[in-house]
Structure 1
Amino acid sequence: MHAPHRFPPPLHRPQRAPRGRRARRCRVRHRHRRVRHPAGPGEIDGRGLLALSGIVNTHAHVDKSWIGHSWQSYGGEGGTDGRIRHERARRDELGIPGLDITRRVLAEFVRFGTTALRTHVDVDLGLGLRGIEIVRQAVDEYDGAILAEIVAFPQDGVLRRPGVLELLRAAVEAGAQHIGGLDPASIDRDPVGQLDAIFALAADTGAGIDIHLHDPAELGAFQFDLILDRTEALGLSGKVNIAHGFAVAQVDAVRRRDLLQRMGDLDVTMTTVAPLRLPQLPLHELDAAGVRFGFGTDGIRDLWSPYGTGDTLGIAWQYARASSLVRDEDLRRVIELATTGGAPFAGIAGHGLNPGDRADLVLLDAENEMDALVRTPPRDLVVGGGRVLYER
């Protein structure tokens, strides 16, 4: 580097995001190669490090963390409904959602190389649209250096809480790009009703749909069918995502083949956080059917779980390891999913290391993409929108 830059300190104490800290433009001359060349004016010396495209977190919850607070012991009941009740009971006490917390979460993402994301933000009768306003403010402080799309997420259900549908409409009118949903069968206990309502709202407003679907096996697969039926009937191909979708990996091979083929035909996408306790989404079968998918971190030290670091590359490692992926072509494919393949989930076109692409990149000390995945080394330099956001 020619002159010192100011970068955010590690995010274990409050700080403001790096608004206005503009760095020199960085030119990347080789894709996924170790590069060494003298830095000229307006350039950054890559120091022989490996360059990857900026990492894309396709399933985040930046509004829900307790990071920055003292340790919070796990409490409350298990299961989706139990965690919802526990979170509602304690979130005001912890100031969730809060601007400082959201800043910390975003800074942790950046430290691990994330330059774009799709985040779910809770919308309910207690919060209104406050969470969306906070997340938008925290993202705006980066002044375009990181990109984020927002899903208005009805964490506490849709139909069982009268007034939530109206809030979801208001969220879209206020700029949320997607409408969320949650386990239509097990949370609202009315899968047809919840999905009819969400899809009608999306068709009316032009918003996308990004629905959490944890329900397992055939119960989950039945809801896949309902989602696909409505996607086709309303002409929403390319605008629907199913998050988690554990059922795909739990039904028999023929049922899975038919589901995936229909998803590919309708361009219904998936996102996964690669949970270790469950079978992973099948990489080769999704690719063969043309089903696009991406990786996300889910929550980070929130009232659902104390785990989570904000490292999407770490989630990609977890997915590859749990899926027993060992061949170079598969490891490269996983890296692609974590970077360029995830770009459409954040509304980005031209996300790579080619001339004319948005200048989002990560430098790290690795031999190649496969080595970067299996070792997940520290990120040495993170550039978003042509600005240095983090340097180790």
Structure 2
Amino acid sequence: MTHDTHTGFGGLTMPDGARADIAVADGRIAAILPAGMLPDATDMTGYVALPPLVEAHIHLDKTLLGLPFQSHLPGATVADRIAQEKSLRASLPLSAFERGGALVRQVAGYGTQAMRSHVDIDGDLGLSGLEDLLKLRESVADLAEIQIVAFPQNGILRDAPVADLLAEALANGADLIGGLDPAGIDRDVAGHLDVVFGLADRFGVGVDIHLHDAGELGLFELADIAKRTEALGLQGKVAVSHAFALGSGLPGVGAVVEALAKARVSIVTNGPNRMVAMPPVAMLRKAGVAVVAGSDNIRDAWSPHGDGDMLRRAGLIAYMQDFRDDSDLEVALSMATSAGARLLGLSDYGLSEGARADMLLVRASCVAEAVAGASPDRVSVRGGRVIARDCKLV
């Protein structure tokens, strides 16, 4: 792959609305100057400068990109969908390394430079998916950073080898431990969470749990997760994806939100359709809960939808939450940029002097227009080098 190297980018609109030139040297932002101060800079007048997009929830091992279109395999429950996926997975001609690589290249074209990917660990797959993603992470390091969550898609207690396999995955390069519907899948909240948090404590890693369980049951599980997070000193290192129970409107939601805020448990959402209850972003943020954006499934056995464009995902979340004001659209963008960067613990992130020269330049007059329009006219810059134009890798 070739890259264009630039000494700087001129005439940009910064997130605060100011016009500026960004000088680049040795892969870092050397200076942010008033527009017109860098006569040799590449003219980017008409573009707004954003930090790189961050994908907080993706399944690189599940995608079917690179294969002919697969018609959706319906399932009425999470367990049904797990079974359908296992059946399909047995016949796939391309490895997770190949399919996941196609997805990484696609999302990098859109401007994503960091992502957290879950990888299935179960008695059938063993660690094969993890091995593919570890190899993939190394091969695409010039495009994006990848965090890997060891994810028990088939449950833990109902799949006897999984607890030991999860430990082995963490010992062999997985960055975080995952979990899935302690009640809905394993039917044992305490038993499931004992394994997840026990492994987090043993290996000194963070936690990222899928929680589809809704209503009072889901709220109970969220409260338990917050309690365990505080007990183990894992504040700021635990995330719950989906958390549909928070959108239930039940009387107990407020107390659970307070517990999550106190334990600094983050919530990750993909802006789901109205068939499920989406966590209330504004209410959570007001209470001090970090809310982060992710795509979740992209063109896989779970969903034929999605493309991994986190700018469009921010716009979708804004639409689902009825965010209309410029300030609200800026919040939606932060969920796909700075909030995701904090969740992933990224260093050197952001548009500031001395930071790595990583940025996304989008044809728009301001942040709000960038989110509302999600223009494909974009330039993705990594370490001062242009790696993608118009949503395609250079």
**Residue 199 of structure 2 corresponds to which residue in structure 1?**
201
Q: Deviations over 1:10-39 (max 9, x none)?
A: xxxxxxxx4xx4442564676325657597
Q: Say whether the 8 Å CA contact 2:134–2:173 is kept in structure 1.
A: no
The answer to which of 173-182 and 32-41 deviates more is: 32-41
| Secondary structure of residue in 1 paired with 2:183 | coil
Q: Which runs of 5+ in 2 are unaligned?
A: 21-34
**Residue 376 of structure 2 corresponds to which residue in structure 1?**
378
Q: Give the whole-Å Cα distance in 1 for the aligned partners of 2:376 and 2:344.
A: 24
Q: Give the whole-Å Cα distance in 2 for the aligned partners of 1:266 and 1:97.
A: 38
Q: Say whether the 8 Å CA contact 2:9–2:43 is kept in structure 1.
A: no
Structure 1 vs Structure 2 CA RMSD: 2.0
Distance change in 2, residues 1:315/1:143 (3 Å): closer
The answer to which of 229-238 and 152-161 deviates more is: 229-238
The answer to which of 259-268 and 68-77 deviates more is: 68-77
**Residue 150 of structure 1 corresponds to which residue in structure 2?**
148
Residue 259 (1) aligns with residue 256 (2): yes
The answer to which of 133-142 and 218-227 deviates more is: 133-142
AA aligned to 1:330 is D
CA displacement at 1:106 relative to structure 2: 0.4
CA displacement at 1:52 relative to structure 2: 0.9
CA displacement at 1:108 relative to structure 2: 1.1
CA displacement at 1:267 relative to structure 2: 0.7
CA displacement at 1:46 relative to structure 2: 2.3
> Which residues of 2 match residues 173-188 of structure 1 at below 5 A?
173-188=171-186
CA displacement at 1:47 relative to structure 2: 4.1
Q: Deviations over 1:176-196 (max 9, x none)?
A: 111000000010011110001
Give the aligned length: 371
Q: Give the whole-Å Cα distance in 2 for the aligned partners of 1:349 and 1:68.
A: 32
Residue 275 (1) aligns with residue 275 (2): no
**Residue 360 of structure 1 corresponds to which residue in structure 2?**
358
AA aligned to 1:386 is G
CA displacement at 1:346 relative to structure 2: 2.5
Q: Give the whole-Å Cα distance in 2 for the aligned partners of 1:222 and 1:26.
A: 54
AA aligned to 2:101 is R
Q: Say whether the 8 Å CA contact 2:246–2:278 is kept in structure 1.
A: no
**Residue 112 of structure 2 corresponds to which residue in structure 1?**
114
The answer to which of 63-72 and 381-390 deviates more is: 381-390
| Percent sequence identity over aligned pairs | 36
CA displacement at 1:230 relative to structure 2: 1.3
CA displacement at 1:358 relative to structure 2: 2.5
Q: Which runs of 5+ in 1 are unaligned?
A: 1-17
> Which residue of 169, 172, 177 corresponds with 1:171?
169
Q: Say whether the 8 Å CA contact 1:145–1:387 is kept in structure 2.
A: no
**Residue 91 of structure 1 corresponds to which residue in structure 2?**
89
Q: Say whether the 8 Å CA contact 2:46–2:364 is kept in structure 1.
A: no
| Secondary structure of residue in 1 paired with 2:91 | helix
The answer to which of 115-124 and 353-362 deviates more is: 353-362
Q: Give the whole-Å Cα distance in 2 for the aligned partners of 1:97 and 1:240.
A: 30
CA displacement at 1:102 relative to structure 2: 1.1
Residue 161 (1) aligns with residue 159 (2): yes
Q: Say whether the 8 Å CA contact 2:55–2:310 is kept in structure 1.
A: yes
| Secondary structure of residue in 2 paired with 1:279 | coil
Q: Say whether the 8 Å CA contact 1:39–1:45 is kept in structure 2.
A: no
Q: Deviations over 1:252-303 (max 9, x none)?
A: 2x42221111111111111001101233322221122211121001111001
Q: Give the whole-Å Cα distance in 2 for the aligned partners of 1:174 and 1:361.
A: 32
Normalised by the length of structure 2, the TM-score is: 0.89
CA displacement at 1:231 relative to structure 2: 1.3
CA displacement at 1:362 relative to structure 2: 0.9
Distance change in 2, residues 1:218/1:251 (3 Å): farther
Q: Give the whole-Å Cα distance in 1 for the aligned partners of 2:314 and 2:253.
A: 22
Q: Give the whole-Å Cα distance in 2 for the aligned partners of 1:212 and 1:25.
A: 41
